[in-house]
Amino acid sequence: MDSEEHFHEHYILKHSTPEGAKQYQDVVFNFLKYAPEIYEAAEHVLQNLTDKLEGRPFLSMHIRRGDFVTLRWLDNFEKEDALLRTVGNVVTELKQWLSEYQDNNRDYKEV
């Protein structure tokens, strides 16, 4: 996850006026909302997963297949063993990142 695709040092969108920036923010943060049914479905899935795991913590990730192909992160994406290997690699990277983060941020408290 160290590739430049994950890091942005500048804003992607620029606005010609402060009013334009405010209008954009109003639309994105106040107007675009998921329908209540989406929240209900998500709550249902979360509750089922929490019940199945008996309350143990879990990690969830969203994988966009197009990113894996474009960034050449995965060959033979349709093969289950390749997908599981890639997800395992991501989890390993996340654990390493968290360990380094904890080492560098003494105030960090695990929930």
Question: Do residues 66 and 108 both lie within one domain?
Answer: yes
Distance CA 59, CA 44 (A): 17
Question: Do residues 54 and 73 both lie within one domain?
Answer: no
Domain that holds residue 89: 62-111
Q: Do residues 3 and 93 touch, judged by C-beta distance below 8 A?
A: no
Distance CA 44, CA 83 (A): 26
Task: Name the residue with tokens 């009013």.
Answer: 19
More confident call, 93 vs 61: 93
Instruction: Output the pLDDT for position 98.
Output: 85
Question: Which tokens hold the place of 19?
Answer: 């009013």
Question: Do residues 53 and 87 both lie within one domain?
Answer: no
Question: Do residues 35 and 73 both lie within one domain?
Answer: no
Q: Do residues 99 and 110 touch, judged by C-beta distance below 8 A?
A: no
pLDDT over 60 at 2, yes or no: no
Q: Tens digits of per-residue pLDDT, 73-90?
A: 666 666 778 778 878 888
Q: Tens digits of per-residue pLDDT, 21-78?
A: 888 888 888 888 889 999 999 999 999 999 999 988 887 777 666 766 666 666 666 6
pTM over the 0.85 mark:
no
Question: Do residues 53 and 66 both lie within one domain?
Answer: no
Question: Which tokens hold the place of 4?
Answer: 């430049």
What is the tally of structural domains in the chain? 2
Residue 111 counted as domain residue: yes
- Picking from 58, 75, 93, the residue at the C-terminal end of a domain is 58
Question: Which tokens hold the place of 81?
Answer: 């063993």
